Structure 1
Amino acid sequence: MAKIGKRLNALKSGVDARQLYPLGEAISLVKANANAKFDETVEVAVNLGVDPRHADQMVRGVCALPHGTGKTVRIAVFARGDKADEAKAAGADIVGAEELVEQIQGGKIDFDLCIATPDMMGLVGRLGKVLGPRGLMPNPRVGTVTPDVKGAIDSAKAGQVQFRVEKAGIVHAGVGKASFDADKLEENIRAFVDAVVKAKPTGAKGTYVKKVALSSTMGPGVRIDVSSVASA
């Protein structure tokens, strides 16, 4: 097991791992512990009472954060003709068709989000085994397979985040930067948790939102009192 650095140990000493903190206090702790030499990302992790091995307990969705993520998102778009021109005009970083497929198959994946027009999915389908495991496969359920290319690009650049439950029943996302004002982080966190609650699947039984934790890139996790951030 890797040794925990002195810095992280010192930070951990200021956080009670057994305590459930109100959301506002948790945010203050995370911001205070985010003292790396770069602007750390603040991430929220939500432990859900679901088993994603069952199709009726899969949780997946999208959330528009009120104050964005603070991150520059590189966007690739599969489109041809007028839609390709629309994507370029809207600020897509990479636009293409067959040549983009070849680029990705060759191992060059230098984007954070992939969007496709519906007519391109026959082509994009070849990349399922490459993009799927990375969470980059376009999907109509989260708005990344759409004829409204400009709308999808605008939403992504404005701070939209996608989420999908992992095998352990955890959903997580970056919800801002440590430099954000506390009230903006709080609004982003509440918006994200609310989106996860609204995405509750029909097969979920019992307590849905079981645990919520907040951390920065280099800081310790802080457990949040669920009642202070979610009603489910």
Structure 2
Amino acid sequence: MAQNGKRLVDAYKNIDRNSFYDLDAAVALIKERATAKFDETVEIAMNLGIDPRHADQNVRGVVQLPNGTGKSLRVAVFAKGDKAAKAEAAGADVVGAEDLAEKVQAGEINFDRCIATPDMMAVVGRLGKVLGPRGLMPNPKLGTVTNDVAEAVKAAKGGQVEFRAEKAGLVHAGVGKASFDQTALIENVKAFVGAISRAKPSGAKGTYIRKVSLSSTMGPGVKLDLSSLLGV
């Protein structure tokens, strides 16, 4: 049977795994125990009362974290002409059209977010088998198929996070770095939970948000008291 390392055992000291902590206390515990040699990501995991296999119970969307993610995203944009120029000016890392599609088809995918103008979707659509499984396919509902590519690039670079419920009804995402101050992390968590609350699908019955926990990349998980998230 696998044994936890000494560092993780120490990290769990004085944490009751059966207790639920209010948001302030949970964030403080996570920050205090993020002792890795790199700036750990603070992650949120939510267990929702949905079955994503049904179309009317899908939960998917984007949320702009008020204090960013602390992560530098590489953004690719499929566009031509003036829109391509605007994407580059806004800070896009990769911009192209058919030439970019050829690179992607060949497996050259050096970006974390993909944006496309509507007129480029005929080209991008052929890349579905490559981009789809990676969660990179542009989608108008997520604001990644748009003529306002400059704004989309700025949003992606500025802390926009995509979320999508998995088969078991779980949603998870990074909501900042352990180096963020307490207030910034709390604001980001509230923004994320608020977005999930607003994304409640029409087919969801009973309790929608069942459990929420926070953790850092290498640290312990802490269960949140849902009452501390009310009013988000």
Indicate the residue corresponding to 1:87 in structure 2: 87
Indicate the residue corresponding to 1:61 in structure 2: 61
Alpha carbons of 1:3 and 1:125: their partners in 2 closer, same or farther (altered >3 Å)? Answer: farther
Indicate the residue corresponding to 2:49 in structure 1: 49
Indicate the residue corresponding to 2:110 in structure 1: 110
- Aligned AA (2:156): A
For structure 2, list consecutive stretches of 5 or more residues without a partner in the other structure: none
Indicate the residue corresponding to 1:36 in structure 2: 36
- Aligned AA (2:61): G
Is 1:6 aligned to residue 6 of structure 2?
yes
Indicate the residue corresponding to 2:221 in structure 1: 221
Give 1:97-176 correspondences, 5 Å limit.
97-176=97-176
For structure 1, list consecutive stretches of 5 or more residues without a partner in the other structure: none
Indicate the residue corresponding to 2:73 in structure 1: 73
Shift of 1:14: 3.2
Shift of 1:3: 4.2
Shift of 1:4: 2.8
Q: What does the per-residue CA deviation read over 1:27-46, in whole Å, with 9 as the maximum and x for residues that have no partner?
A: 00100110111111111111
- Give TM-score scaled by structure 1 length: 0.96
Shift of 1:12: 2.2
- Give TM-score scaled by structure 2 length: 0.96
Q: Distance in 2 between matches of 1:207 and 1:51?
A: 13
- Aligned AA (1:217): T
Q: Distance in 1 between matches of 2:221 and 2:88?
A: 40
- Aligned AA (1:64): Q
Shift of 1:82: 1.0
Given that 1:194 and 1:230 are in contact with CA atoms closer than 8 Å, whether structure 2 keeps it comes out as no
Secondary structure at the residue paired with 1:52? Answer: coil
Q: Distance in 2 between matches of 1:132 and 1:16?
A: 40
Q: Distance in 2 between matches of 1:221 and 1:112?
A: 26
Shift of 1:226: 1.1
Q: What does the per-residue CA deviation read over 1:40-95, in whole Å, with 9 as the maximum and x for residues that have no partner?
A: 11111111000000000000011011111111111000011111111111110000
- Aligned AA (1:178): A
Alpha carbons of 1:28 and 1:76: their partners in 2 closer, same or farther (altered >3 Å)? Answer: same
- Aligned AA (2:81): G
Alpha carbons of 1:120 and 1:218: their partners in 2 closer, same or farther (altered >3 Å)? Answer: same
Runs (4+) of structure 1 exceeding 3 A deviation are: none
Q: What does the per-residue CA deviation read over 1:87-142, in whole Å, with 9 as the maximum and x for residues that have no partner?
A: 11111000011121121122221111100001111111111122112111110111
Shift of 1:189: 0.3
Q: Distance in 2 between matches of 1:84 and 1:91?
A: 11
Indicate the residue corresponding to 1:25 in structure 2: 25
Q: Distance in 2 between matches of 1:99 and 1:227?
A: 51
